[in-house]
Every structure is written in structure tokens, then in C-alpha cells.
Chains A and B, each alone.
Chain A
Amino acid sequence: MFLINCPYCGERDQSEFSSGGEAHIVRPKQPKELSDDQWAEFLFMRKNIKGVQFERWNHAHGCRKWFNMARDTSNDKIHAVYKMGEKPPIK
């Protein structure tokens, strides 16, 4: 259990949120030109790193807005929370 600072509602319990997986995955502009392997790479393959990971989260039981978060997967420390479309404030 940890607290998440929703960019719209403020600090809330993690149980109000749902995780949407890795962030900043760009959809290929011409999907039809891709091979099955390249399409599968975009569609299914996700990083599962130990350390700071950029993720999408949804405040499902609050404002229902999506946002991005930089979270350390080893200790759940949240380094940054930023809105959709914004660039990560940390590298």
C-alpha cells in the first residue's frame, strides 16, 4: 500500500488507482507495413525492470483520468507524477 499524488485530485490511496502498464510506447504510424514480429513487439513486449520505470496509471475510483508516473519498482518510491502528453520530468 502506498499513496499516489493524482495530478487532478491530490494525494490518494493506491487502492483507488489502477495501473495501465508501461508508458511512452509509440504506436507505429504504418501498422500494415510491419512484420508479425514487429507488431508483436509493439503490442505485447514490455520492460520489467528493477528500478525506475515510467508507467501509465488511471485514477479509476476518483476522477477517472489517466496520467504518467515514474516509480521505482523495487521499493514503490514515486519519483514523479505528470500528465498525459507531457515529457518525463526525470531521466
Chain B
Amino acid sequence: MLSYNSVVNDSIKYNDLTISVVESITKINLRGKKRDFITKIGKSISILLPTESNTSSNNEDLNLLWLSPDEWMLYENEKINSENDIYNLEDELFKEISKINYGSVTNITDHWVMINLKGQKVYELLSTSCPFDFKNFKQNKGSVVQTIFNHIDVIIHHKKSNDLNLFVRRSFCDHLLSWMRDAASRM
């Protein structure tokens, strides 16, 4: 795992909006089309793969996001620590899926950074530079969208009401955070 120091160590707080980087969260990319792949995932992590577009499924520890008809992203709720080793989950899935060619399992923990957006003004912040229409997204808990925000690719997961997890590629993270900081200060 990368030794990464975030530009934002504490949360940035504005009226009705909190932006915080949540590091490090285990993230795993899953790809597969076979029926066996879908059953194996369900058995290994006790979550059914969401097959409907723009949706997610979850249990107490894990969230599984639909990215495309044959691609999903798995992420943990808890931060990585010595007891909760990043490679346990990956190893387990790798043995069950990749090794027997049911699909592919890739650890993308260091690829994406998770930013938590919380508060009444989250959608106001997103609307400043996102072409996506959040009308239905807002109403359905667990919705997922891959879109662009300030010309940067992002994945947004509707966790709870006015509580979103936004994933951005690490190299764009600093830029997006300073841009959000600026946008939020004007709201």
C-alpha cells in the first residue's frame, strides 16, 4: 500500500457541508460474466452482485457498486488497520475467482481516493460542475453513478440521505479537493 499523505487531513467544514478524505479504505475491482462468477462472489462475501444498472448492495462491512454489466467495485466501510489486513479479502477473492478463471479480481485501493460529502448542500456542490441529473439519484438510497465532476471522472455512491461517498483517481484528488473547497466557500 502507498504511503500517502492527503492534502486534507481534517474535514473541511462549511455551513451544511462537510468534505473529508477517508483513507485508507480497501477497494477491489471485480470483473466477470460467467454465472459461476456471480455465485462465487455471493458465497465469498455474502452479498449478491447488483445486476441492475446504477445500483449497489451492501452488508455491515462491505459495499458492492455496479459499474457496468460485467464490472463492480467492492469497498469496505472500515479503514484498514493491522487487524483488518487489506490483503485478506483480496486473497480470498483471488483464490475463489481469479485462480480458477471465473473472472478477475484487482486491488484498486491505491488507485481511487474516497471523499465523503455530508450535509444539506452536497447536491448544490455537485451541481456546480456535474452534468448528471441527481433528481432520481437523491431519492434512491444505494444509487451509484459514474460521471464527470469538474471534467474529472468520479464514482458517486449514495450511502445515506445527504451523505455521499465520492471516488476520484488519486492523481486528480488534490485538484478536485481544492476545486471543491473553492466552490463550497461560495455557497
Q: Which of B67, B71, B147 contacts A16 (CB 8 A)?
A: B147
Q: B50 → chain A, closest Cβ, in Å?
A: 13
Is A91 in contact with chain B by the CB < 8 A criterion? no
B69 touches A61 (CB 8 A): no
Complex Cα gap A13–B153 (Å): 14
Bound complex: CA A64 to CA B29 (Å): 14
| Interface residue A85 (Cβ < 8 Å from any Cβ of B) | no
Q: How far is the CB of B148 from chain A (nearest CB, A)?
A: 5
B residues within 8 A CB of A9?
53-54, 146
Q: Is the CB of A63 within 8 A of B131?
A: no
B110-154 vs A: 1/0 string, CB under 8 Å?
000000000000000000000111000000000000111000010
Against B, the Cβ 8 Å flags (1 = close, 0 = not) of A1-33 are 000000011111101100000000000000000
The reply on B68 being an interface residue by CB < 8 A is: yes
Interface size on A, residues (CB 8 A): 13
Interface pair A10/B53, CB less than 8 Å apart: yes
In the complex, are the beta carbons of B53 and A8 less than 8 A apart?
yes
Count chain B residues whose beta carbon lies closer than 8 angstroms to a beta carbon of A. Answer: 13
Residues of chain A within 8 A (CB-CB) of B71 are: 63
User: Using an 8 Å CB-CB cutoff, how does the interface string of B30-73 with A read, 1 for contact, 0 for none?
Assistant: 00000000000000000000000110000000000001110100
| CB <8 Å contact, A63 and B67 | yes
- Cβ–Cβ < 8 Å partners of A15 in chain B: 131, 148
Q: How far is the CB of A57 from chain B (nearest CB, A)?
A: 15
Q: Write the nearest CB–CB distance from A84 to chain B, whole angstroms.
A: 12
- Nearest chain B CB to A40 CB, angstrom units: 35
Which A residues fall within an 8 A CB radius of B? 8-13, 15-16, 61-65
Instruction: List 30 interface pairs A-B (beta carbons < 8 Å), by A numbering.
Output: A8-B68, A8-B69, A9-B53, A9-B54, A9-B146, A10-B53, A11-B133, A12-B131, A12-B132, A12-B147, A13-B131, A13-B132, A15-B131, A15-B148, A16-B131, A16-B147, A16-B148, A61-B147, A61-B148, A61-B153, A62-B68, A62-B147, A63-B53, A63-B68, A63-B69, A63-B71, A63-B146, A64-B68, A65-B68, A65-B69
